[in-house]
Structure 1
Amino acid sequence: MFLGTCGQQYFNEILRSGIKTKISAGGDFMNKLHFTFGPVQSFVSQARRTIDLFSGSFLLSYLAAAAIKAIQDAGGKIVFPEVEKDPLMQAIKGEEKGFVEVGSLPNRFEAKIPQEKTEDIARRASRALEDAWNNLAGEVKRLLDKEASELINNEFGKIWDRQIKNFWEVNWVIGDQPRLLDIRKNIRNFPQQEEPGEKCNQCGERQALCNKDKADKKETRRYWNKFAKKINENHALTFRLDGAERLCAVCAVKRLIAVVRPYPWKVPEHYPSVSTMATLTWKDVVINKSQEHKDVLKEVEKYVQAMEEAKLPFSDSIKAFPHWKELAERDKSRVIEKFLRLDGEWLFKESFVKSEFPGKKDDLTIAKSKKVAADFVKTMKEKWQIEKPSAFFALLVMDGDRMGKLISDFTRDSAKISQALADFSIEEVPGIIQEYHGKLIYAGGDDVLALLPVDKALYCAKIIAKAYKDAFEKRTPPEIKKRATISAGIIYAHHKTPLGILLKDGHDLLDNVAKEETGRNAFALRVWKRNGPILTYSRKWKEINCLEQFQKVFKDYPNRFLYKFRDMPFLNELLGGNDDLQSILTAALLKSREAKLERIKAEELALKFYRVISSCGEQKKLDLDGPLFIRFINQEVPYANNIGTS
Structure 2
Amino acid sequence: MSYLLGITVGPVQTYIEESRKLGDLCNSSRIISDIMKEVHEHILNLIKTAELIYPNHKYVQDIDYSNYMIFEIEKSINLKSIESQIYERVYYNSEICNDKKIDFNYKNTIKESFHLFWAIEEIKDNKYSECYKNLTELMHNLKNTYEFEQVEQESQEKCLICGKRNVVNLSNFKKEKYKLKEEENLCEVCLFKRNYISSIRYNSVYEIAIINWKNIHEDELKKVTRDLAEIFKNYYKYYNKNEITHLIILLKKTKENLKKDFKENIKMYIDFSLNNIIQLLKDNKKNIVLKKLNKINEEFNNYASELTLDKLINKLSILEKELEDIYEKIQPPNYEYTFIQFDIDNLGCWMSGEYLKDKKNLKNHQKEISLVLCNFSQKLRESLKNKCEIIYSGGDDFLSILPSENIIEVIEIIDKEFKNEVELKLDKYMTYDRRITYSTSITIAQCKDPMSYSLAKTREELKNVKNRYKNESMGKNGVAINYIINNGKEITCYLQKEDLVNYFELIKGFKKVESKLSFSYINNFENEFKMFNFNNISFEKARKIFEIVDCEVKRLISRSKIKGCNEEKVNEYIQNLAKFIKYIFSKNNNELKSNHIVIDFRNVMNILRLYQKLCIDNLNRL
State the TM-score, normalized to the length of structure 1: 0.71
The yes-or-no answer on 1:402 pairing with 2:343 is no
| 2:483 aligned counterpart, secondary structure | strand
Q: 1:583 to 1:420 in 2, by over 3 A?
A: closer
Q: Structure 1 residues 30, 587: CA separation in 2 closer, same or farther (over 3 Å shift)?
A: closer
Q: CA deviation at 1:133?
A: 3.6
| Deviation, structure 1 residue 493 | 0.3
Q: 2:482, 2:490 within 8 Å by CA — same for their partners in 1?
A: yes
User: What's the % identity of the aligned pairs?
Assistant: 19
Partner of 1:429: 380
Answering whether residue 611 of structure 2 is matched by residue 627 of structure 1, we say no
Alignment of 1:348-497 (within 5 A): 349-350=242-243, 353=247, 354=293, 355-357=295-297, 358-359=299-300, 360-361=304-305, 364=310, 367-368=313-314, 370-383=316-329, 386-409=330-353, 411-412=362-363, 413-426=365-378, 428-436=379-387, 438-476=388-426, 478-480=428-430, 482-497=434-449
Change (3 A) 1:85 1:393: same
Q: What residue in structure 2 maps to residue 326 of structure 1?
A: none
Summarize the Cα distance change of 1:365–1:271 in structure 2 as closer, same or farther, 3 Å threshold: farther
SS in 2 for 1:500: helix
* Distance apart, 1:301 and its partner CA: 3.5
Match of 1:343 in 2: 236
- Structure 1 residues 540 and 607, CA gap change in structure 2 (3 angstroms): closer
Which of residues 169, 177, 180 is equivalent to 1:239? 180
Contact 2:239 2:333 in 1 (8 A): no
Counterpart Cα distance in 1 of 2:310 and 2:485: 31
Q: 1:180 aligns with which of 138, 145, 152?
A: 138
What are the superposed Cα offsets for residues 477-503 of structure 1, whole Å, 9 maximum, x if unpaired?
522585321111010000112111111
Instruction: Give CA-to-partner distance per residue, 1:541-571, whole Å, 9 cap, x none.
Output: 1112134336648951239826953982527
Kindly indicate whether the alpha-carbon contact (under 8 Å) linking 1:134 and 1:165 is maintained by their aligned counterparts in 2. no
Contact 1:586–1:599 (CA<8 Å) still a contact in 2?
A: no
Distance 2:312 2:338 in 1: 29
Answering whether residue 76 of structure 2 is matched by residue 126 of structure 1, we say no
User: Which residue matches 1:303?
Assistant: 224
Per-residue CA shift, 1:58-110, capped at 9, x if unaligned?
1111110001001112222211111323446xxxxxxxxxxxxxx60011101
Q: Secondary structure at the match of 1:189?
A: coil
Aligned residue in 1 for 2:126? none
Change (3 A) 1:166 1:134: farther
Give, as a single letter, the amino acid of the residue that structure 2 aligns with 1:126. E
Report the Cα distance in structure 2 between the residues aligned to 1:228 and 1:502, rounded to whole angstroms.
30
Shift of 1:449: 0.7
Higher mean C-alpha displacement, 526-535 vs 446-455:
526-535
1:250 aligned onto 2:202: no
Which of 453, 463, 486 is the matching residue for 1:511? 463
Q: Distance in 1 between matches of 2:497 and 2:453?
A: 26
Q: For 2:113 and 2:420, locate their aligned partners in 1 and report how far apart those are by CA, in whole Å.
A: 39
Contact 1:419 1:475 in 2 (8 A): no
Identify if the C-alpha distance between structure 1 residues 445 and 606 changes in structure 2 by more than 3 Å, giving closer, same or farther.
Answer: closer
Residues 516, 582 of structure 1: alpha-carbon distance in 2 compared, 3 angstrom cutoff: closer
Distance in 1, Cα, partners of 2:21 & 2:525: 33
Q: Which runs of 5+ in 2 are unaligned?
A: 122-130, 248-292, 357-361, 590-598
Classify the secondary structure of the residue corresponding to 1:349.
Answer: helix
CA contact (8 A) 1:80 1:111 kept: yes
User: How many residue pairs end up in the alignment?
Assistant: 510
Amino acid at match of 1:615: Y
Contact 1:54 1:441 in 2 (8 A): yes
1:105·1:445 contact (CA, 8 Å) conserved in 2? no
RMSD: 3.5
Q: Counterpart amino acid of 2:380?
A: V
How far, CA to CA, are the matches of 1:571 and 1:422 in structure 2?
48
Q: Secondary structure at the match of 1:258?
A: coil
- Pick aligned residue for 1:82 from 53, 56, 59: 56
DSSP-derived class of the 2:454 partner: helix
In structure 2, the CA distance between the partners of 1:560 and 1:256, relative to structure 1 (3 Å rule), is same
Tell me the SS of whatever aligns to 1:390.
coil
1:194 is displaced (CA, Å) by 4.2
Render the CA deviation track for 1:227-272: whole Å, top value 9, x for unaligned.
Answer: 243342x56xx1113x2x111101101111222x5xxxxxxx1111
The Cα shift of 1:466 comes to 3.0
Residues 365 and 395 of structure 1, relative CA distance in 2, 3 Å threshold: farther
Distance 1:589-1:458 versus aligned 2 partners, 3 A rule: closer
**AA partner of residue 72 (structure 2):** K
Could you give the per-residue CA deviations for residues 145-200 of structure 1, whole angstroms, max 9, x where no partner exists? Answer: 4xxx4xx5xxx445x55423443211111122222211121212135434432211
In structure 2, the residue matched to 1:65 is 37
**Cα distance change on mapping 1:566 and 1:208 into 2, 3 Å:** farther
C-alpha displacement of 1:540: 1.4
- Asked if the contact 1:465–1:487 (Cα under 8 Å) also holds between the matched residues in 2, the reply is no
- Kept in 2, the 8 Å contact 1:547–1:626? The answer is no
Taking a change above 3 Å as real, the CA distance of residues 493 and 58 of structure 1, as seen in their structure-2 partners, is same
Task: Look up the equivalent residue of 2:422 and give its one-letter code.
Answer: F
1:599 Cα offset (Å): 13
Match of 1:499 among 431, 451, 463: 451
Q: Which residue of 2 aligns with 1:614?
A: 582
| SS state at 1:556 partner | coil
Q: Aligned residue for 1:557?
A: 519
Tell me the distance in 1 between the aligned counterparts of 2:576 and 2:422.
40
Quote the residue 2:202 is aligned against.
271
More divergent stretch after superposition (369-378 vs 543-552): 369-378
Match of 1:37 in 2: 9
Report the CA distance shift for 1:559/1:439 in structure 2 as closer, same or farther (over 3 A): farther
Deviation (angstroms), 1:597? 9.2
Q: Is the 8 A contact 1:64 1:105 kept in 2?
A: yes
Deviations 1:367-415 (A, max 9, x none): 55554555444444433xx322111101111101111111012533011
Q: Which AA in structure 2 matches 1:188?
A: Y
Distance 1:596 1:307 in 2: 43
CA distance in 1, matches of 2:27, 2:465: 28
Q: How far off its partner does 1:450 sit? A: 0.5
The secondary structure found in structure 2 opposite 1:112 is strand
Deviation at 1:434, TM superposition (A): 1.3
Aligned equivalents of 2:487, 2:107: Cα separation in 1: 39
TM-score (norm 2): 0.73
**Distance of 2:151 and 2:615 partners within structure 1:** 50
Measure, in 1, the Cα distance between the counterparts of 2:550 and 2:415.
37
The change in CA–CA distance for 1:165 and 1:397 in structure 2 (over 3 A counts) is same
Residue deviations 1:318-337 (CA, integer Å, cap 9, x gap): xxxxxxxxxxxxxxxxxxxx
- The code of the aligned residue for 1:278 comes to A
Give the secondary-structure state (helix, strand or coil) at the position aligned to 2:588.
Answer: coil
Residue number among 203, 210, 234 corresponding to 2:162 in the alignment: 203
Give the superposition deviation at 1:124. 5.4
